Structure 1
Amino acid sequence: MASKMASDDFDDQFLTCPVCMLHFRDPRILPCLHTFCKECLKDWATKQQPLECPTCRTQVSLPDQGVDGLRTNFYVNNLLDFAAAKKGTEPGVPCQVCEGGQGEAKSWCKDCAVLLCESCVAMHRKIPGTRDHELVPQEVMKEKKGAERFQRKRHCQKHKNQELVFYCETCKALVCTACTVIDHRPGKDHNPVEIATVAQKKKETLQELLQGINPRLQEIQASIKEVDSKISKLIPSKEVATEQAKAYFRQLADLLQKREKDILSQIDEQCRADGKALQTKKEAIEFEMAGLTSAQSFCQQAVEQGSDVHILEVGNQVQARVETLLAKQVDLESNWSEFQFVENMAVADFAEGVKDLGGVKTKVEVSKCKVVVKAAVQGFRCAAILTTMNKDGRSCTTNSKAVTVNMKDPSGTILRTQVQVKNGGVWEISYVPKVTGNHRLEVKVNSQQVPGSPFDITVQSRDTPVLTIGKVGSGVGELIRPIGVTVDKDGNIAVVEQGNKRVQIFDTVTGHSLKCFPVDSENPYGIDVDSDGRFLVTSWGENYGIRHYSEEGKLLNTFTPDCMIHALGVGVLPDGRMVVAGGVQESCLLLTHDGRLIREIGKAWLQDPSFIAVDESRGLIFVTDTDDVLVFDLEGEFKFSFGEEGQGEGQFSSPTGITLDQAGNIIVVNMSDGRVQVFGPDGMYIRTVATVKGGKPYGILLTHDGYIAVACYEGHCIELYRYN
């Protein structure tokens, strides 16, 4: 936004939407303080979920009303009015009411924001609804005055002829004089104050925030300068290291030519890796500076040029944005040190170790590197994760030739491995073990063993759980009658414990308990996570219902619609709608995000529904029943069913937990015999994954890294089996 609103100072770019590149139409402000046309934002929101700001890529959580609920940028509207009013001073501009039929524009109505000719001005002053409107004559419009002269008046939505002149501090709402008599009468429940008083306080708060931006910008600019300086040293460092390597390898003649090429390749790759990392760092820092600069400009405009109404409209939003940016912990260190060529061996001692001759010394501190070994299953693609670290214990990049891996099976046979950089200094070491038993993995960086190498990895058969979480008890990490499971937004396992009446969150790699929170119900059962990462927990019996919890476990709402008498399995759609299975009522309920009934599903088909999986892409609901799985669409129409009672392939023995994989395949566990079976999207049997060892499996889920987690009700644990 422009810092001034002088008549010929502001640039047309400030009136242009960055999406459609046209003048703003109904401009709306995102939480990051960037402004776009309302229709452009609506179109943008249909193309991506979750919504990201088109300018700064900040993830946006829209209000319940969607884009319509975003605040209007009245500052931009004022600029547009100002531009329109100034245009009215030009000869030949037609009246916007009679469209030039009565003459040229001579005045500007601040209330209607239109240009009027003399005849329309006279009519405007005669009509009761507009006679009190403030008109700006052409002579005033021609003056070199600021746009503040053309700000629209804001009127009450309820009392259309009343201007907003008060601010109810209790309700945090702008109100008119009539509102202070009716809906916001001063007293214990309401405290209307003249807007000028409140606006001045908000201006002072924003002014204080502005003072903190410049020092932060200077710090970021200094960091960018430092990164630029280090980038400038990359090529000289490469040249010096190259000359050192050439001088060294010239002494080794033909025997060392191949090694020489390897080292030169490492140097080039290190230069590219460091250059890319430094450039990425620079871009990240510039991104932070851009956010601060944008917020600074917006905040300054609001303080210097915004009306009282505008200040109160956007003040809290501006304050929250600036405070968030100033409080954000930004790593401004480039963490780069010059690399150089190192002679690992004297010329006289090279004969027995040609492969180890020379190397590229980088910022990687091998003693700080870490390897996380994941559970391995015979016949599946398995992985270990290497993180290369610098001396400060931060992940850092290096060239691919610096990482070497060797793996052997129990017989000593070398197993083929693949090393692939994932991001930054994180590397995936993948392999497919052909036999069970103890395997040995050796990992080196810069020809040195990383701490813990070689690693012993026990490869298990596919019917053996790769990880068992929990044991019977009420302590941290212990479980009593786990029943419902889901994956939270961070990929951790969230489990409902019927015995301990709580939800406990576990790390999927280590199995360690991360946190837990109580559930206020006698029989908690199902659990799912909405698109904002909040938990929904169902329960039956006394205090039945659906409870909505924050990520931290704070109870937000309890839904007990009249149509519900039993709440078991639950599934949440991306738009917040819920599908709940009710065993006693022999149906499923499709509910709004706030618990209101949309429709009952499966009333004539279901006998004892327990768990639910929702395929939102196809609009289908999968429900486990007494001895089969029934499928309905979201309109409640029965589509098909599959399975029958029995112990054979594709047959069910008290099916309970159900989930879907990314291909739309359906995964179902039998409570009676523990078999976990996979069916195609059409219900055709594909395979049996495993047979659960713990007693009475109920809820199941598929983790982000390809494991099936099963809640073992009588085993008081969660068992993980490899799926893909």
Structure 2
Amino acid sequence: MKNKTHLKPVVYEQEKIEFDLDQLRKVFSCIGTFATVDVQKCFVSKMKFHFPFKRTNVTNFLVEAKNSCGQGVPNVADRITVEIHYHGKPHLTESATIKDTGYGQYEVSYTPRVCGVHTLSVLVAGKPIPGSPFKMIAQLRDYTKMETQNCHLITQYGGKKFQTPHDVAITTNDDIVIVDSSTRDVVMLSKNLKLIKTFGHGNGDGKLKEPEGVAVGHNVIAVSEWSDHVVKKFTLQGDYLSKFGSHGSGDGQFRYPQGLTFNNKGLLYEVDSGNCRVQVFDDSNKFTFKFGSKGSDSGQFQGPRCIAVDSSYQVYVTDWTASGGIVVFSEDGHFIKKISCYKPYIICLTPDDHIITRVNSCLTVFDPDYQLIAQFGTKGHKQGQFEITTGVTVNSAGTIFISEGGNARLQIITD
């Protein structure tokens, strides 16, 4: 009889498992809510708040849809809405494409139609997510990379030399308009820098004596006359239209008018430097209102010089004093803010709402949030240097044009 092998029973020790009750409660609380979006837990990622504007460039970012436990919620693309608004252009509408990339992430993409400041409202289930609306800036160019080798100089037109080019403006076709206070010419150059025509020189009612500032509106060119204390208007073809103003301090009168600009509604804003104020006129030259006065309080000036308007109709006035800076007003002349900078003179607002001015012989750029982002150039006579800059403007491609009275030239900074 064979011996039977006796197997010993194996006894396993019981493993003690401890549970975190708070974690368990959290896990069980998520059961049944996985597909429910909690708007307050949603957010955007990979969003570029500043990006270069090209008409074919697509910008994109992610919307992260989360439930109350912070987990991604899939299959809710149809519940995400993105609304795009362009500052100062309420007639423009834009649509965005929303793509479900999985794990509760949704890629939003769109192509900006215009450069400048616009806002994106991101809604989930009809409610804005935290941080919405988001401010975006489609930039025409990288203002931090203005280089000397990208500068070009124009010293004459039609065989005639500039003497004291005092201001410069751009038409809607990107033609360039310069006034020279010494030659008394209004000079029009094409976007290719070819002479189109000159006008204004001579004697008579439709001629210029000492042109100071120039602005281009809808089919009209306005020129301020420093010593005659008037503003004269011409067609884009150079034909004389009208003049208004006289010497004095009453409504519609001037003491040494300087910078002027049109807004997109056709209102003309004129810096009445001798009276330390801005006067506003409609398209029939009728005085509508004024703002500013001499002083150092908010909304007052010591030495106002030049003026510009942004896409939201805000008005910017340079106060050419050590304590002046750039004074910002609403469309109807209510004080908003003063941007501190030393003795700014020239000013323009770019199509992407950046501010360009001159500080200490440097071309100086502020972003739409009034933050200093770039300075370029020094005092001198070479390319990329400046001497008594008297006017500045930017065309639709981001090319910058600076009139220099001290160097008797037009300097052009390309991208």
TM-score bracket, normalised by the shorter chain, equals 0.5 to 0.7
Name the residue aligned to 1:613. 308
Q: What is the alpha-carbon distance in structure 2 between the residues aligned to residue 47 and residue 668 of structure 1?
A: 28
- Deviation per residue, 1:348-385 (Å, 9 max, x gap): xxxxxxxxxxxxxxxxxxxxxxxxxxxxxxxxxxxxxx
User: Are residue 655 (structure 1) and residue 317 (structure 2) matched?
Assistant: no
**Which residue identity lines up with residue 182 of structure 2 in the other structure?**
G
- Residue 177 (structure 2) aligned to one of 494, 519, 524: 494
Q: What is the alpha-carbon distance in structure 1 between the residues aligned to residue 187 and residue 392 of structure 2?
A: 15
Alignment of 1:369-518 (within 5 A): 462-464=147-149, 466-471=151-156, 476-509=159-192, 511-518=193-200
In structure 2, relative to structure 1, the CA distance for the partners of 1:694 and 1:521 (3 Å cut) is same
Q: CA deviation at 1:657?
A: 1.4
Name the residue aligned to 2:24. none
- The answer to whether the 8 Å contact 1:710/1:718 transfers is yes
Name the residue aligned to 1:674. 361
- Deviation per residue, 1:225-273 (Å, 9 max, x gap): xxxxxxxxxxxxxxxxxxxxxxxxxxxxxxxxxxxxxxxxxxxxxxxxx
Q: What is the alpha-carbon distance in structure 2 between the residues aligned to residue 595 and residue 716 of structure 1?
A: 32
Q: CA deviation at 1:706?
A: 1.8
Q: CA deviation at 1:678?
A: 0.8
User: Are residue 718 (structure 1) and residue 410 (structure 2) matched?
Assistant: yes
Name the residue aligned to 1:59. none
Q: CA deviation at 1:622?
A: 0.3
Q: CA deviation at 1:462?
A: 0.3
**Which residue identity lines up with residue 531 of structure 1 in the other structure?**
H
Which structure has the highest strand share of the two?
2
- Deviation per residue, 1:432-453 (Å, 9 max, x gap): 9xxxxxxxxxxxxxxxxxxxxx
- The answer to whether the 8 Å contact 2:377/2:385 transfers is no
In structure 2, relative to structure 1, the CA distance for the partners of 1:513 and 1:644 (3 Å cut) is same
- Residue 353 (structure 2) aligned to one of 654, 661, 664: 664
Q: CA deviation at 1:623?
A: 0.5
Alignment of 1:256-271 (within 5 A): none
- The answer to whether the 8 Å contact 2:362/2:386 transfers is no
- The answer to whether the 8 Å contact 2:377/2:386 transfers is no
Q: CA deviation at 1:618?
A: 2.1
Name the residue aligned to 1:530. 217
- The answer to whether the 8 Å contact 1:669/1:698 transfers is no
Q: What is the alpha-carbon distance in structure 2 between the residues aligned to residue 669 and residue 685 of structure 1?
A: 12
Alignment of 1:25-44 (within 5 A): none
SS in 2 for 1:711: strand
Alignment of 1:73-152 (within 5 A): none
- The answer to whether the 8 Å contact 2:276/2:302 transfers is yes
- The answer to whether the 8 Å contact 2:261/2:269 transfers is yes
Q: What is the alpha-carbon distance in structure 2 between the residues aligned to residue 579 and residue 696 of structure 1?
A: 24
**Which residue identity lines up with residue 707 of structure 1 in the other structure?**
T
Rg larger for: 1
Q: What is the alpha-carbon distance in structure 1 between the residues aligned to residue 361 and residue 191 of structure 2?
A: 21
- The answer to whether the 8 Å contact 1:476/1:513 transfers is no
Q: CA deviation at 1:514?
A: 2.0
Q: What is the alpha-carbon distance in structure 2 between the residues aligned to residue 664 and residue 558 of structure 1?
A: 31
- The answer to whether the 8 Å contact 2:315/2:331 transfers is yes
User: Are residue 592 (structure 1) and residue 286 (structure 2) matched?
Assistant: no
Q: What is the alpha-carbon distance in structure 1 between the residues aligned to residue 412 and residue 236 of structure 2?
A: 24
Q: What is the alpha-carbon distance in structure 2 between the residues aligned to residue 668 and residue 711 of structure 1?
A: 12
Q: What is the alpha-carbon distance in structure 1 between the residues aligned to residue 408 and residue 394 of structure 2?
A: 19
- The answer to whether the 8 Å contact 1:465/1:719 transfers is no
SS in 1 for 2:237: coil
**Which residue identity lines up with residue 354 of structure 2 in the other structure?**
N
Q: What is the alpha-carbon distance in structure 2 between the residues aligned to residue 686 and residue 609 of structure 1?
A: 24
- The answer to whether the 8 Å contact 1:669/1:675 transfers is yes
User: Are residue 706 (structure 1) and residue 398 (structure 2) matched?
Assistant: yes
SS in 2 for 1:656: coil
- The answer to whether the 8 Å contact 2:351/2:396 transfers is no
Q: What is the alpha-carbon distance in structure 2 between the residues aligned to residue 702 and residue 477 of structure 1?
A: 24
Name the residue aligned to 2:233. 548
- The answer to whether the 8 Å contact 2:257/2:273 transfers is yes
Q: CA deviation at 1:47?
A: 7.9
**Which residue identity lines up with residue 463 of structure 1 in the other structure?**
T
Q: What is the alpha-carbon distance in structure 1 between the residues aligned to residue 159 and residue 282 of structure 2?
A: 35
Name the residue aligned to 1:630. 327
- The answer to whether the 8 Å contact 1:629/1:643 transfers is yes
Q: What is the alpha-carbon distance in structure 2 between the residues aligned to residue 461 and residue 681 of structure 1?
A: 18
Alignment of 1:265-280 (within 5 A): none
- Residue 373 (structure 2) aligned to one of 686, 710, 720: 686
**Which residue identity lines up with residue 242 of structure 2 in the other structure?**
N
SS in 1 for 2:258: coil
Q: What is the alpha-carbon distance in structure 2 between the residues aligned to residue 677 and residue 522 of structure 1?
A: 31
**Which residue identity lines up with residue 618 of structure 1 in the other structure?**
S
Q: What is the alpha-carbon distance in structure 1 between the residues aligned to residue 376 and residue 398 of structure 2?
A: 12
- Deviation per residue, 1:659-694 (Å, 9 max, x gap): 112332211123xx4211111223211111444524
Moved over 3 A (4+): 46-49, 474-477, 689-692
- Deviation per residue, 1:419-441 (Å, 9 max, x gap): xxxxxxxxxxxxx9xxxxxxxxx
**Which residue identity lines up with residue 394 of structure 2 in the other structure?**
L
| Larger RCO: 1 or 2 (CA < 8 Å, sep 6+) | 2
Q: What is the alpha-carbon distance in structure 1 between the residues aligned to residue 147 and residue 341 of structure 2?
A: 26
Count of residue correspondences: 253
User: Are residue 644 (structure 1) and residue 341 (structure 2) matched?
Assistant: yes
SS in 2 for 1:706: coil
- The answer to whether the 8 Å contact 2:388/2:406 transfers is yes
Q: What is the alpha-carbon distance in structure 1 between the residues aligned to residue 90 and residue 328 of structure 2?
A: 29
Q: CA deviation at 1:644?
A: 3.3
- The answer to whether the 8 Å contact 1:669/1:700 transfers is no
**Which residue identity lines up with residue 333 of structure 2 in the other structure?**
G
**Which residue identity lines up with residue 580 of structure 1 in the other structure?**
E
In structure 2, relative to structure 1, the CA distance for the partners of 1:585 and 1:516 (3 Å cut) is same
- The answer to whether the 8 Å contact 1:567/1:581 transfers is yes
Alignment of 1:315-354 (within 5 A): none
Structure 2 unaligned runs (5+)?
Answer: 1-88, 93-141, 202-206, 295-299, 379-383
Structure 1 unaligned runs (5+)?
Answer: 1-45, 50-431, 433-459, 646-653
RMSD between superposed Cα atoms in Å: 2.5
Amino-acid identity (%): 19
Q: What is the alpha-carbon distance in structure 2 between the residues aligned to residue 630 and residue 663 of structure 1?
A: 19
In structure 2, relative to structure 1, the CA distance for the partners of 1:582 and 1:465 (3 Å cut) is farther
In structure 2, relative to structure 1, the CA distance for the partners of 1:574 and 1:644 (3 Å cut) is closer
**Which residue identity lines up with residue 217 of structure 2 in the other structure?**
D
- The answer to whether the 8 Å contact 2:212/2:259 transfers is yes
In structure 2, relative to structure 1, the CA distance for the partners of 1:504 and 1:476 (3 Å cut) is farther
Q: CA deviation at 1:630?
A: 0.5
- Deviation per residue, 1:47-73 (Å, 9 max, x gap): 869xxxxxxxxxxxxxxxxxxxxxxxx
Q: CA deviation at 1:558?
A: 0.5
Q: What is the alpha-carbon distance in structure 1 between the residues aligned to residue 266 and residue 347 of structure 2?
A: 20
SS in 2 for 1:584: helix
Name the residue aligned to 2:245. 560
Q: CA deviation at 1:599?
A: 1.5
In structure 2, relative to structure 1, the CA distance for the partners of 1:632 and 1:461 (3 Å cut) is closer
SS in 1 for 2:332: coil
**Which residue identity lines up with residue 198 of structure 2 in the other structure?**
C
